[in-house]
Chains A and B, each alone.
Chain A
Amino acid sequence: MRRLTPYLLALPSWMWLAIFLVVPMVAMASVSLQTGNAIDGYAMTFSFSNYGDAIGRYSTQLLRSLLYGGLATLAMLVIGYPVAYWIAFKGGTRKSMYLFLLLLPFFVSFVLRTISWNFLLSDNGILLGTLKGWGLLPADFHVLATTFAVIGGLTYNFLPFMILPIYVALERVDPRVVEAAQDLYATRAAAFRRVVLPLSLPGVFAGVLMTFVPATADPINAAILGGTSNTMIGNIIQTEYLTNLDYPTASALSFTLMAVLLVGIFVYARALGTENVLEAAAR
């Protein structure tokens, strides 16, 4: 009995995963192979061509999503790393306060935060309207419904997920190791490049994972900030599922997206040699 105890304790979580992860996945996988229409219903026909059709029809949006997700991730890395660095090394006794400030926007719902951007950036809103009123911007200048707005929104919304893991990794870097590098003739820049950066890579890796995946799949920023010409794959899946009631296409697209992201992550992990990096940083 005693031997079984750990398994029994783990049972609820296994059940949870089985019911709410495995079952829906299997159901979705089966739906993705069905044919039919919204009125008469769908039947299983093992129609693998659903995938080809869906990808063919929406390859633009799929590629656009990967591009937007990638660019937003890059922007988050460029903005987030210095912030994490600053909090970890210069935050002093106020570290927790800075982290709290960073998370403060998260007390407001994701959709509302994005809508507030809409409000802020609207063509004649507080920001652009004022600047236009002063004659600093041409009257037809706009930010909303552009690629820039969508990537900006994604960057803003997921930024803390980039900063936090990098912060955690940097926080663990012993300042004396940095001093040792400087003692061994490294300039500040060289000490960063050869010591701090490599030791923070596990955090960067985690941060990229935690932002690239949801940013690529996100439908909300494109819907609220992107207008009609910046549709991402998340929006398509949503429309197919909720408006067109074309469940097989929506499911096939979901699985395609998942596969693309998994392959991407795998290649990325290989390229960065995460295992070595993680091992080294784990000491």
Chain B
Amino acid sequence: MTGLSAIELEDVVKEYHSHGEVVQAVKGVTLDIAEGEFFSLLGPSGCGKTTTMRMIAGFEAPSKGLVRLHGQDVTNVPPNKRDVNMVFQSYALFPHMSVWDNVAFGLKQRKTPQEEIRRRVGEMLEIVDLAGRDKRMPRQMSGGQQQRVALARALVNRPRALLLDEPLGALDLKLRQAMQIELKRIQREVGITFVYVTHDQNEALTMSDRIAVMNDGLVEQLAGPREIYERPATPFVAGFIGTSNLLTGAATGGELKIGGGRVLVPGHDGDVTVTVRPEKITIGTEEPGPGRSAVRGTVAEVVYLGTYNSYAVSLADGAEITVFQQNVHDATATAERGDSVWLSWQAQHSYVIGS
């Protein structure tokens, strides 16, 4: 991050009229995306992330608010006059053009000299590892290859920002993971701002410098991946990112009495919502000593997941807690279904939402 703003949204609202009703897809989003940043818009479908991106690209005009690219107000500038390019969810390659013509399209529209087009398209196909396939038609290529053509078609124009709308959604898991690493590498190589729309929290956590978690047309939290994972600002974020245990109750003297035990929340009193990540919790039969949060429960389910076991533990008051335990020693479970167990974790691993 150089600190310069690449993209700024100022209180952007997008309303649609449908059957005489006004529907707000985006309800007031303010973002400041820095030059060279890998920025993700993360959220479930219908949360407004794609609409937000389309307003950055220029396909939708905001009902209210401002969009700035590199300090210039582009709120009402059409997409063909904006120095950003987009990689579409379904790639949207031109089906009647070869790979080469697809990639050269933007340069030709900008009346780039023939010689330069040849050089830049060649280089770009090299980068995305498609050299020698330039005469193929899109329909003759696999999903992963089409994906790379779409990426090359956008990047060859050296836009000041690249917008990616769930670009890996259609790929299978292996390819998706490979492309994640690939995208990150390309982003580092070309050094331009990436705005990445996804509903896949792993994707967002792996690649992003910062993430805006969106829900119902609003940004719930805007922070780095670690911060979002460890310190979710709202119950929605805690639930959406990874698996999370939510415990609610009234705390007295920095302690929340729950499930025949205690959750340590130093410095908090009154109603609190606490999250604990499943992998932070230790499962055992002995009551742990003081200084740790500890609750009692009964194992309701054990699921073997290869690298770890997942336990669902029911507390006395009906709450259910998920625990992940790494299979460090062997594959046998520490506890069986029906066992009465103690769950404990370090005080620092309880995070009081909104604090």
A interface vs B, CB < 8 Å?
174, 176-177, 179-187, 190, 194-195, 198-199, 277, 280-283
Identify A180's interface contact among B78, B81, B92, B139, CB under 8 A.
Answer: B92
- Say yes or no: A281-B88 contact (C-beta < 8 A), given A183-B79, A183-B80, A185-B109: no
B50 nearest CB across to chain A (Å): 12
CB contacts (< 8 Å) of A177 on chain B: these are 92-95
A179 nearest CB across to chain B (Å): 6
B59/A184 in contact, CB under 8 A: no
**A183, B84: Cα distance in complex, Å:** 8
B109 nearest CB across to chain A (Å): 4
A280/B137 in contact, CB under 8 A: yes
Interface size on B, residues (CB 8 A): 28
CB contacts (< 8 Å) of B93 on chain A: these are 177, 180
Q: Is B308 an interface residue (CB 8 A)?
A: no
Given contacts A185-B110, A194-B105, A195-B96, 8 further A-B contacts (CB under 8 A): A176-B92, A182-B78, A183-B58, A185-B80, A186-B109, A187-B80, A280-B97, A280-B137
Grouping DSSP codes into helix (H, G, I), strand (E, B) and loop, the A interface class, with mixed when no group exceeds half, is helix
Closest chain B residue to A280, Cβ basis: B96
**A182, B95: Cα distance in complex, Å:** 16
Closest chain A residue to B78, Cβ basis: A182
In the A-B complex, list the 8 residue pairs whose CB atoms are closest, starting with the nearest: A280-B96, A184-B106, A185-B109, A176-B92, A180-B92, A283-B139, A283-B95, A182-B79
**A186, B105: Cα distance in complex, Å:** 9
A182/B88 in contact, CB under 8 A: no
Q: Is B57 an interface residue (CB 8 A)?
A: yes
Closest chain A residue to B88, Cβ basis: A176
CB contacts (< 8 Å) of B231 on chain A: these are none
A181/B105 in contact, CB under 8 A: yes
Among A174, A177, A183, A199, find the residue whose CB has the most chain B CB atoms closer than 10 A: A183
B92/A179 in contact, CB under 8 A: yes
- Say yes or no: A179-B59 contact (C-beta < 8 A), given A184-B85, A186-B109: yes
Closest chain A residue to B97, Cβ basis: A280
A236 nearest CB across to chain B (Å): 43
